[in-house]
A = this chain, B = another copy of it.
Amino acid sequence: MTTVAPAHEILFRVDLSKPWSQQQVLGHNRWHPDIPAAASVSPDTTFRMECKDWTDGQIKNNDSANDVRDVDLTIPHVLSGPIEVNGAEPGDVLVVDILDLGPFPGRDTEWGYTGIFAKTNGGGFLTDRFPDAHKAIWDLKGVYATSRHLPDVRFVGIPHPGLIGTAPSQDLLNKWNQREKDLVNTNPSRIPPLALLPEERNAVMGSLKGGDQQRAAREGARTVPPREHGGNCDIKNLTRGSRAYFPVYVRGAKLSMGDLHFSQGDGEITFCGAIEMAGFIDLHVDLIKGGVSKYKMTNPIFRSSPLEPRYTNFLVFEGISVDEQGKQHYMDAHIAYKNACMNAIEYLQTCGYTAEQAYMILGAAPVEGRVSGIVDIPNACCTVYLPTEIFQRDIEPMRYSVSRQTQVATAR
């Protein structure tokens, strides 16, 4: 039995002191159409959701990265929901306005973390260069983040849900599982793995019980990748003030979310690269009947927000698709972006940061990553845009100098 929500209600509450499997109202950490709704709302409703951080509280506010090294990755992402939207049917579009989100107010909750995950437990974009676990803790002070582990950095984040999406239909779920299994089978022993396949251990499937729970857990899709329904897109610009359009695959749409980020750079390159936090998210939902075919939607669409920090002076690093061994790859944007990031990390080291600090800054600050040229064979050109205003000191290569003269011209 689900509860109907009036306007402005907290529709999903979390208890930060308890693990995900022991919350009073159970959320989930796998995708499956059969997970029952935790609550229901009517279209044109505004409500609040509470979320734990994506790891279910495994990472602590301290100065050791052992928790990052030892994190149990069968638990994430802990997702709040699903929320059933009354009247939603497959083929509709669910319109979701992200009205606000942030950490829970209070001394014990206004902090976040960025982790470099170990190559043997999670990995990351530059895991060959950074195989070990590291962590930075951020203080969240209103709209600003600073870190005792990253000197002279202070910025306004672009808060967003790293993960938000509708439930897949059984057909779509089967398709996901099949294609990801096919990929893993091309190199099953790879570390880190090519994809995470369904894993019954630690699966939380909402209020499902007994055999239903076991069956759903066995086939529930893991939450790491973004997919057709949205999911873990980690798009930093899907921030408060933006409006997302999601395809609906099951009756009621079953919207879930989690993995709240106070800030993130494009790509979230350290894997746990955002400023990860627990907190709240305020949403408004509405429906466009038959919208999927009307707008020819395959993936979610969203409209950007008028409220993003206005950083405008960027130092930009380029990368092309030639790998570290000097081998030429054909139009490989992945390698090009890697090189752009590595170039930025090299540069930041000339400014006094360690490589790990630089890597975390790129992961967590409002950095833009662009596909700049994708047709100039054989080199893709990707670029990383680092806002210089986030540094509390000058990090630019050279200051422009103009010649000086003591006085303006004066009538004599």
Interchain nearest-CB distance for A286 vs B (Å): 8
- B residues less than 8 Å from A211 (CB atoms): none
- B residues less than 8 Å from A347 (CB atoms): 295-297, 301
CB <8 Å contact, A320 and B225: yes
Q: Which of A107-134 contact B (CB under 8 A)?
A: 107, 110, 116, 118, 123-125, 132-134
Of the residues B9, B180, B268, B398, contact of A375 by C-beta under 8 Å: B268
Of the residues B302, B327, B373, contact of A233 by C-beta under 8 Å: B373
Contact with B along A57-73 (1 / 0, CB 8 A): 00000111110111000
Of the residues B70, B148, B317, contact of A299 by C-beta under 8 Å: B317
Interchain nearest-CB distance for A308 vs B (Å): 7
Contact with B along A379-393 (1 / 0, CB 8 A): 111110100110011
Q: A299-B318, A326-B179, A397-B301 are in contact. Are A193 and B132 (CB under 8 A)?
A: no
Q: Which of A360-401 contact B (CB under 8 A)?
A: 360, 368-383, 385, 388-389, 392-394, 396-401
Q: A65-B411, A118-B411, A134-B410 are in contact. Are A315 and B303 (CB under 8 A)?
A: yes
Asked if A78 lies at the interface with its beta carbon under 8 angstroms from chain B, I say no
Asked if A3 lies at the interface with its beta carbon under 8 angstroms from chain B, I say no
CB <8 Å contact, B311 and A306: yes
CB <8 Å contact, B378 and A183: yes
Asked if A188 lies at the interface with its beta carbon under 8 angstroms from chain B, I say no
- B residues less than 8 Å from A410 (CB atoms): 64-65, 132-135, 356
Contact with B along A350-365 (1 / 0, CB 8 A): 1000101100100000
Asked if A1 lies at the interface with its beta carbon under 8 angstroms from chain B, I say no
CB <8 Å contact, A307 and B306: no
Asked if A310 lies at the interface with its beta carbon under 8 angstroms from chain B, I say yes
Contact with B along A313-333 (1 / 0, CB 8 A): 111111110100011111111
CB <8 Å contact, A412 and B303: no
Most buried by B among A69, A106, A155, A268: A268
Asked if A337 lies at the interface with its beta carbon under 8 angstroms from chain B, I say yes
Q: A196-B377, A225-B376 are in contact. Are A409 and B63 (CB under 8 A)?
A: yes
Closest to A355 in B: B408
- B residues less than 8 Å from A408 (CB atoms): 65, 116, 134-136, 149-150, 354, 356-357, 360
Interchain nearest-CB distance for A330 vs B (Å): 5
Of the residues B46, B68, B401, contact of A392 by C-beta under 8 Å: B401
CB <8 Å contact, B371 and A337: yes
- B residues less than 8 Å from A180 (CB atoms): 328, 378
In whole angstroms, what is the CA distance A320 to B68 when docked? 27
In whole angstroms, what is the CA distance A5 to B151 when docked? 26
20 more CB-based (< 8 A) A-B contacts, given A243-B400, A269-B374, A301-B317: A65-B408, A66-B411, A99-B143, A125-B375, A179-B328, A192-B377, A234-B372, A235-B383, A267-B373, A267-B374, A267-B375, A270-B375, A296-B347, A298-B343, A299-B319, A299-B339, A300-B318, A333-B382, A370-B371, A392-B399
18 contacts between A and B (CB under 8 A): A93-B397, A97-B144, A99-B143, A142-B240, A153-B402, A180-B328, A225-B377, A226-B320, A233-B318, A234-B373, A237-B383, A266-B370, A288-B398, A299-B319, A299-B340, A307-B310, A392-B400, A393-B399
